[in-house]
Amino acid sequence: DTGVSQNPRHKITKRGQNVTFRCDPISEHNRLYWYRQTLGQGPEFLTYFQNEAQLEKSRLLSDRFSAERPKGSFSTLEIQRTEQGDSAMYLCASSKGGQGAPEAFFGQGTRLTVV
């Protein structure tokens, strides 16, 4: 399977705990994005990497959120001291960038539930 892969698919955690999600993009894609989706809304942009450089972060990304993409391959999104409001679907996407087709391809997401 050469699509975007996200792990885990589901995560239930207690409020105050830290969680980390992983995303493996399509191998030839140098752009990687994290989005968050809550019920009844479209996905909302969180952050973007071009290779290993994090080039943009949304105001939605509080200090408790951190993302990395070491060596420009897989990426991790960590949420520290989780709150109930962090419960959402976290989506990762990748795209080729440059002059190529603009569409981004999404993984199946990680559903986070904070109890």
Partner 1 sequence: DQQVKQNSPSLSVQEGRISILNCDYTNSMFDYFLWYKKYPAEGPTFLISISSIKDKNEDGRFTVFLNKSAKHLSLHIVPSQPGDSAVYFCAVLTGTASKLTFGTGTRLQVTL
Q: Is 53 in the site for partner 1 (CB under 8 A)?
A: no
Short-list 4, 56, 6, 49, CA closest to 31:
49
* Cα Rg, the chain, nearest whole Å: 13
Q: Is 41 in the site for partner 1 (CB under 8 A)?
A: yes
Work out how close the CB of 103 gets to partner 1 at its nearest, in angstroms, rounded to a whole number: 5
Q: In one letter, which amino acid is 89?
A: M
Q: 13 forms bridges with which residues in the sheet? A: 114
Assess contact for 32 and 94: CB atoms under 8 A.
yes
Work out how close the CB of 102 gets to partner 1 at its nearest, in angstroms, rounded to a whole number: 5
Single out the residue of 26, 44, 54, 80 in contact with partner 1 (rule: CB under 8 A).
44
**Positions that interact with partner 1 (CB under 8 A):** 4, 6, 31, 33, 35, 40-45, 48, 50, 55-56, 91, 93, 97, 101-109, 111
